Amino acid sequence: MKGIHVVGLTGQTGAGKSTVSSLFRARGIKVIDCDQVSRDVVSGEKSCLADLALEFSIAILNMDGTLNRKKLASIVFGNPQKLSKLNELIFPHIRAEINRRVKELAKQGVPLVVLDAPTLFESGADADCELIISVLAPEAERLNRIVVRDHLTDQEARSRMASQHDDAFYSSRSQLVIMNDGDPELLHIKTLETIDLLERALRELNASEQTQDGSASDPEGAI
């Protein structure tokens, strides 16, 4: 996007993406939490709520017109067709809001923003990114984290993991991959190295653009 560099951050559930995202924030890099954007959109955007009510009936709305999340979840849970339809309806709204926020940051002179997005590819937001980073982890590590974090049974956690893409899917669509082997200190180091790489590339790109602008404004230098 003009005036700002957009990086996508995604990965499998339980891989440690949230930890990586927090380290980006700690370095002063702007991060858009796309999960929060999703919650904001379905909670407060009237056009999105209208689309959902038309598809799934007004039963998904509370008396005050807000979304009844539990009711909607009960309709789409375990029904791939309805879940797919839900995503089809909400992803355009979410992507539009993400782009609006990115443009606002660009107006403020922010040079780099990271989209923390579990469904980066599914939503189509990957098309708005110049570079994509995926956070991956061994299956056993992910399983343990999900069970502890989300208070799930082993089978429930495995079922959730099975519904997601495998390592090859993310690796083949990402320019950078951070592998989280379960060592917090090593993950910290890998993330900081990735941030350093991004910031160095950004400085080099800016220097190159300034050089090109200087050449373009100097006819003799351009010959």
Quick check: is 213 in a domain?
A: no
53-61: average pLDDT: 93
Please give the backbone phi and psi of residue 112, each rounded to the nearest 5 degrees, phi first.
-145, 135
What does the alpha-carbon distance between residue 136 and residue 118 come to, in Å, rounded to a whole number?
Answer: 12
CA-derived radius of gyration, the chain: 20
Closest CA to 5 of 216, 212, 200: 200
Question: CA 151 → CA 34, 146, 147, distances in Å?
Answer: 23, 7, 5
14 is in an annotated binding site: yes
Which domain CATH number covers 89?
A: 3.40.50.300
Give the pLDDT confidence of 70-127 residue by residue, as tens digits. 888 888 877 889 988 999 999 999 999 999 999 999 999 999 999 999 999 999 999 9
19 is in an annotated binding site: yes
Give the pLDDT confidence of 112-154 residue by residue, as tens digits. 999 999 999 999 999 999 999 999 999 999 999 889 998 888 8
What is the pLDDT of the chain when averaged over all its residues?
89
Closest CA to 8 of 142, 145, 173: 173
Give the DSSP H/E element, type plus range, for residue 206: helix 184-216
Domain residue limits at 22: 5-206
Contact call for residues 139 and 103 (beta carbons, < 8 A): no
221 is in an annotated binding site: no
For 148, the token pair is 């502890």
Quick check: is 79 in a domain?
A: yes
**Number of domain units in the chain:** 1
Contact call for residues 133 and 174 (beta carbons, < 8 A): yes
Q: Which pLDDT belongs to residue 223? A: 28
16 is in an annotated binding site: yes
